[in-house]
Structure 1
Amino acid sequence: MQYLAPVDWLIVFGYIIVIITIGVYLSKRATKNIESYFVANRKLPWWLLGTSMVATTFAADTPLAVSGLVRTKGIAGNWYWWSGAMAGMLGVFFYSKLWRRSKILTDTQFAELRYSGRPASILRGFRALYFSLVYNTIVMGWVMLAMAKILGGVLGLPKWQAVAVCYVIAVVYTSLSGLWGVVVTDFIEFCTAMFTSILLAIIAVNKFGGIAAVLANLTTICGVERTTSITAILPLHSMLLPIGFFLIYVGLQWWTTGNTDGGAYFAQRMLSAKDERHARLGFLWANIAHYCIRTWPWIVVGLVAIVAFPHLKDPEMGYIKVMLKFLPTGLLGLAIAGFVAAFLSTIDTQLNWGASYLINDFYRRRCGVPSTLVLVAYQCME
């Protein structure tokens, strides 16, 4: 099954070449020492580090998941992750300045600032190995599985071969350019992915004659009661998301799951900020973009997908189906480039962040020679 015209392929390959070129260009900034490689010499401005944060959480499968959630749980179903905004605000106004003030290289290193002795050392080493090798591998695995699903469905290519190519591209520019390359390419990747998402939402809605026509068709297909449930932002008027689940999301889930303290790769970005002010503003911008801006194009496409494909078996494929049905040649290639961008923006962060744990919190403390740390970091990603 082949959907892409030559001009579409040209756009996709052109985008990949641009990303690799940027990585090579920024390699000089990253290879000076371990601080330049993992925290960009603590010189990142707020808008760059904040965009990198939100780009990292924008994987290739994120639009598919959100649009699929609209079909199965309605718009209110997104409270599953919208509830995380409360932890985000806690991080903005309390933790961000403390992370930057600590001047550590990774959040795992904080274990030996907060505690002391052999137990602290064991905790730091365990966290470094667990998150870099076990947790990180699982995350990259599901991101690659989603990308394989997308490339297989859209391009008709052998799934894992196509994903392997994308992964190698991410490894090349990430290992060459360190965190500088990650955040700069993340910025470009986020802009590309968001532009294509917004463009798809606008084109798809206009094909039906506007959002009012989409909602009218939705009512015809689903009935008044179900349409009300699908379009409800709060679950008070939704039969798809029980109020009990909503209360669990907003009252319990956000503070009992990971990164409530703004740790992991979020902390890495704040540790890389120019100062405490840039750390706070960057995390604030990331939360605004993550919770208030980027969701809505995917929700709109999710509504269109219900109207255009009411009997779709796989809810998450609705986004792909809408894209293939309504985007013309050229724009389809740009949309595929957007998916590649979303994939790369997640993988590059996982690679750099995981390597920072292995090098700073394990290898460096046991057998690390300062002059070899960057070289070993290359090898960790490969």
Structure 2
Amino acid sequence: MTLTLLDWLAIGGYLLITLLLGLYFRGRSGKSTEDYFVSGRSVSWWLAGTSMVATTFAADTPLVVTGLVYRQGIAGNWLWWCFLPSGMMTVFLFARLWRRSGLLTDVQLAEIRYSGKPAAFLRGFRALYLGLLMNCLILGWVTKAMTGIVSTTLGVSERSALAICVLFLMPFTGIYVTLGGLWGVLWTDLFQFVLKMGIVIAVAWYGVSAVGGMSSLVRKLAEMRVAAGNNAGDITAFFPDFSRPLTAEPLWTLPVLAFVVYLGLQWWAFWYPGAEPGGGGYIAQRIFSARDERNGLFSVLWFNIAHYALRPWPWILAALAAVVLYPHIQQPENAYMLVITQHTPQALRGIIIAGFLAAFMSTIATQLNWGASYLVADFYRRFLKRDGDEKHYVMVSRLATLLLVVVSAYVSAQLGSIVAGWQVVLTIGAGTGGVYLLRWYWWRINAWSEISAMATALVVTVILRWVTPLSGSGLVLFAKSALVTTAATTVVWVIVTLLTKPEPDDVLVKFYRHVRPHVSGWQPIARIASDVQPSRDLGRNLTCWILGCAMVYAALFGIGSLCFGHLLKGFGLLLIAAFCAAAISPLLKPQGGPQLRRAPAA
């Protein structure tokens, strides 16, 4: 790809805007760690929610979706569509609880929910595990993907592209994150999200146009299916082919077993960045930054609507066009970049590259700020230096951000030797989700519940991978491993919970008073704290959860149906989505307690 002076000006203009935003918010972020990490808890829902959407739109996301569609059809996207129930559960069952907790990071929950050395160990361990190990692996993975994009667009070697990412893009992102804190991250995310969405819509438009339009695209895909015979499914189907055997893996079809595991197990049992069971990570950080419970809830609601219903189709349409344009490519993920380099106008190349920079930097920025919050608030301040002033901790926070830049740059440079380790880390959290959900709603969960769940998942993952591997390949093997790991982990943590002592009454009473979870699972504690008005909103919240899932899935498939010209089906599904939204609205109003308290605007 040859870049003109205008292309370089577009790229330079984008970088300048992000730097200016970081400089602008330097004063607001430097007052305290609360300002640096959660923006003084004064963020509106639309800004916090859009930042979540921007963070989950990494540079490699369109490429990954292209690979899924190329191999398993549109239904392959259930790999991540299945996390919607988890996201909606965070909206209606956990967002208000997180906001009431008043925490700086979700890891701090360990020491307000549990007590003693087990709680302290859990907090410190998770701070290092998530803030350093997992965070740097995520940063390294995203950087590795960006390396391929830079190599393709600039026509340089992989080594030179890696140097550009490691020595320029990551340090540059670290600079504006270090200067602006979360305020800088939020506003650059907003700018970057608008830019990224404009780019992917344009790529989808030009990709489909290169095929001859939507009608031509659908016709050619149907012809390719006929040519492939019975060994191919319908690439445009939204669901797997249930008429096939559970473990069948024909072309353009998601195995039914994988779909069952995704939708029946993965969303609640697996820890996944941005879709943690019960909320957590940078999702919790954005909730903490919201100005009140109402803004916290609506920020996550907007995130789930935009993430699952509004954003996927430009990626999917470009991927379908790539299937027709490049039917025999060995690395399907690269087909997305070929659509860009061969079918978009030369005048847009600089803006497109700026869009990929935005996708890369928005994810990097959040991971840096979020990871530094763990290292400083949950490890350094908690275990190493407890008597510093706020200026000291802000300075250490900025140093921690720079440390993450250096470590993640090293990880990305070495990623070729640790890809297998990264894949293992993704499965280590299988089965732990039940604890993360129930710790809010059942008083009997204790620190040993979480510790035993994490340890069991790790041990079972190692055994299945290196000692007695299960039969099968690809998605089928993953599905079997997930079932075994989740079952073993769940049995162990339930037994450990029942055999160990509950947390002390004073700790549980303090947590109950502060967070006010639904009373049913806290009856023994509610009797002690009889002066606290009990919350009885679980049934209403579960109703909202079901309606919310139906709303977003109906909108997702309604928009998809309209894209393929199925007008009656598309508008019918959108009407269902609108009905669900109307049904949710009155249920969100406060009933019997301060469920959605408003705070003064900051």
TM-score bracket, shorter-length normalisation:
over 0.9
1:197 maps to amino acid: V
Cα distance in 2 between the residues matched to 1:227 and 1:30: 54
Superposition TM-score, scaled by structure 2 size: 0.62
Which has the higher Rg, Structure 1 or Structure 2?
2
Equivalent residues in 2 for 1:300-379 (5 A)?
300-365=317-382, 366-368=384-386, 369-370=388-389, 371-379=391-399
Where do 1:43-122 residues align within 5 Å?
Answer: 43-122=42-121
* d(CA) in 1 for partners of 2:21, 2:226: 51
> Higher RCO, 1 or 2 (CA under 8 Å, sep at least 6)?
1
Q: 1:170 is matched with which residue?
A: 173
Give the superposition deviation at 1:228. Answer: 4.9
User: Does structure 1 retain, via aligned residues, the 8 Å contact 2:81–2:308?
Assistant: yes
Distance (whole Å) between structure 2 residues aligned to residue 8 and residue 347 of structure 1: 23
**1:153 to 1:222, Cα distance in 2 relative to 1, 3 A:** farther
Task: Measure the CA separation in 2 of the matches of 1:286 and 1:332.
Answer: 29
Cα distance in structure 2, aligned partners of 1:257 and 1:228: 29
Matched, 1:204 2:199: no
Once residues 331 and 96 of structure 1 are traced to their aligned partners in structure 2, the CA distance between those partners, rounded to angstroms, is 40
Contact 2:47 2:187 in 1 (8 A): yes
**Contact 2:96/2:296 (<8 A) preserved:** yes
Q: Which runs of 5+ in 1 are unaligned?
A: none
1:181 to 165, 184, 190: 184
Residue 236 (structure 2) aligns with: 231
Farther-moved stretch of structure 1 (182-191 vs 219-228): 219-228
Partner residue in 2 for 1:254: 267
Name the SS of the counterpart of 2:333 in structure 1: helix
- Structure 2: how far apart are the matches of 1:222 and 1:325? 25
Supply the distance in 2 between the matched residues of 1:12 and 1:154 (Cα, whole angstroms). 13
Structure 1 or 2: more helix by fraction = 1
- Equivalent in the alignment of 2:400: 380
Q: CA separation in 1, counterparts of 2:211 and 2:161?
A: 33
Superposition map of 1:106-145 within 5 A? 106-145=105-144
Amino acid at match of 1:231: T
- Deviation beyond 6 Å, 4+ runs, structure 1: none
The alignment yields a C-alpha RMSD, in angstroms, of 1.4
Q: Which amino acid aligns with 1:245?
A: A
1:286 aligned residue: 303
* CA distance in structure 1 between the partners assigned to 2:29 and 2:374 by the alignment: 17
Which of 151, 162, 177 does residue 160 from structure 1 map onto? 162
- SS across alignment from 1:230: coil
Q: CA deviation at 1:331?
A: 1.2
Q: Are the aligned partners of 1:171 and 1:348 in contact in 2 as well (CA < 8 Å)?
A: yes
Bigger drift between 227-236 and 108-117 goes to 227-236
In the alignment, residue 137 of structure 1 is paired with which amino acid? C
Code of the residue aligned with 1:106 in structure 2: it is: T
Match of 2:560 in 1: none
Give the Å deviation of 1:154: 1.5
Equivalent position of 1:4 in the other structure: 3
2: CA distance between counterparts of 1:220 and 1:76? 19
What's the CA shift string for 1:262-301, capped at 9, x where partnerless?
1011000000001000011000000011111111101000
Give distance in 1, aligned partners of 2:303 and 2:154.
32
Maintained 8 Å contact 1:108/1:128: yes
Query: Are 2:51 and 2:186, in contact at CA under 8 Å, matched by a contact in 1?
Result: yes
3-state SS in 2 of match to 1:198: helix
The two structures have a TM-score, normalised by structure 1, of 0.97
Is 1:268 paired with 2:285?
yes
- Which letter maps to 1:249? Y
Q: Which amino acid aligns with 1:367?
A: K
Q: Secondary structure at the match of 1:330?
A: helix
Q: Which moved more, 1:170-179 or 1:370-379?
A: 370-379
Alignment partners' CA distance in 2, 1:100 and 1:263: 12
The answer (yes or no) to whether the contact 1:218–1:227 under 8 Å persists in 2 is no
Deviations 1:122-169 (A, max 9, x none): 110111111111111100010000000110111123211221211011
Q: What amino acid is the match of 1:110?
A: L
* Structure 2 portions without partners, runs of 5+: 245-249, 403-602
Q: Per-residue deviation at 1:363?
A: 1.0
